[in-house]
Amino acid sequence: MSAIWHDVECGGYAADLPLWEELADETGGPVLDLGCGTGRVALHLARRGHRVLGLDSDAELVGVLAERTGELPAEGEVADARKFELGARFGLALAPMQLLQLFADAEARIACLRCAAAHLQGGGLAAVAIVDDLPVADPAASPLPDAREVGGWVYSSLPLETTVDGDAIVVRRLRQTISPGGGLSEEVDEVRLQALDAATLERKAKEVGLRPAGRREIPATGDHVGSTAVLFEGEAR
């Protein structure tokens, strides 16, 4: 079930794809996609000829990615982004969609950065997407749900609210499932993004040998807030 909700809530997001494609072209790959899910980024880059390895801790999501690769130069592996050893190095490591902010504390974020740095080729690039601030809600806006039909079942996810709770940005969505017979079930899903700004991330990344290499803005869309991609260069080897 996690794969379906991942597709519903994340599969349609594309605002960051031009940037990841540009960086993959510049570095030449191969590309490491951290928190790959069902392959939103990995498959996009693979279709453009880049060799991609996607990592995710959810075996169901990685299994769906494997089913979708076909002849594309992409594969998935089940692994924790905070502690992995792959025996390979990459020209580009990506952490899209606020992956680092899903970790509960700074130690976990540092561990992820350390692993990414260890898997970069000499002079390779890492790119981390973060949301710096709580988005300002438009009181007149009436968001539409993300929805998908699979085998006669309809899955709908409606944004409810985005709030601040201590040091976290909390995003709540109403998930509704409608069976082929019309039965309805629903639950509220909550995602917590730990507060993190680009300057703090750059400072911490230096501790694991990543040198700040600029920032790029990922534009907002009608359904998603904008974010910042913080770039880092790995150590020469």
Distance CA 173, CA 36 (A): 21
Question: In this structure, what are the phi and psi dihedrals at residue 192, rounded to the nearest 5 degrees?
Answer: -110, 125
| pLDDT exceeds 80 at position 133 | no
Confidence of residue 165 (pLDDT cuts 50, 70, 90): confident
Note whether 54 and 93 are within 8 A (CB).
no
Structure tokens at 115: 């692993």
Distance CA 166, CA 147 (A): 31
| pLDDT exceeds 80 at position 147 | yes
Question: What is the pLDDT, as a whole number, of residue 11?
Answer: 87
Neighbours of 118 (CB within 10 A): 16
Q: Which of 22-31, 78-87, 192-201, 228-237 has the lowest average pLDDT?
A: 228-237
Residue ranges of domains in the chain, CATH in brackets = 2-133+196-233 (3.40.50.150), 146-193 (2.20.130.10)
Q: 77: helix, coil or strand?
A: strand
- DSSP state, 167? T
Distance CA 196, CA 48 (A): 32
Confidence of residue 167 (pLDDT cuts 50, 70, 90): confident
Question: What is the pLDDT, as a whole number, of residue 221?
Answer: 80
Question: What is the pLDDT, as a whole number, of residue 179?
Answer: 94
From the list 87, 77, 22, 18, the residue with the least C-alpha distance to 52 is 77
Residue type for position 27? T
Distance CA 159, CA 142 (A): 9
| pLDDT exceeds 90 at position 145 | no
Q: What is the pLDDT of residues 59-109, one digit of tens each?
A: 999 999 999 999 999 999 999 999 999 999 999 999 999 999 999 899 999
| pLDDT exceeds 80 at position 136 | no
Note whether 202 and 228 are within 8 A (CB).
no
Neighbours of 24 (CB within 10 A): 26
Exposure string over 62-79, b if 16+ CB within 10 A, otherwise e: bebbbeebeebbbbbeeb
Q: What average pLDDT is seen over the chain?
A: 91
Structure tokens at 229: 């991609």
Note whether 5 and 175 are within 8 A (CB).
yes
Q: What is the pLDDT of residues 15-40, one digit of tens each?
A: 999 999 999 999 987 999 999 999 99
| pLDDT exceeds 80 at position 143 | no
Q: Which of 129-138, 170-179, 221-230 has the lowest average pLDDT?
A: 129-138
- DSSP state, 83? B
Structure tokens at 128: 């981390």
From the list 228, 208, 231, the residue with the least C-alpha distance to 220 is 228
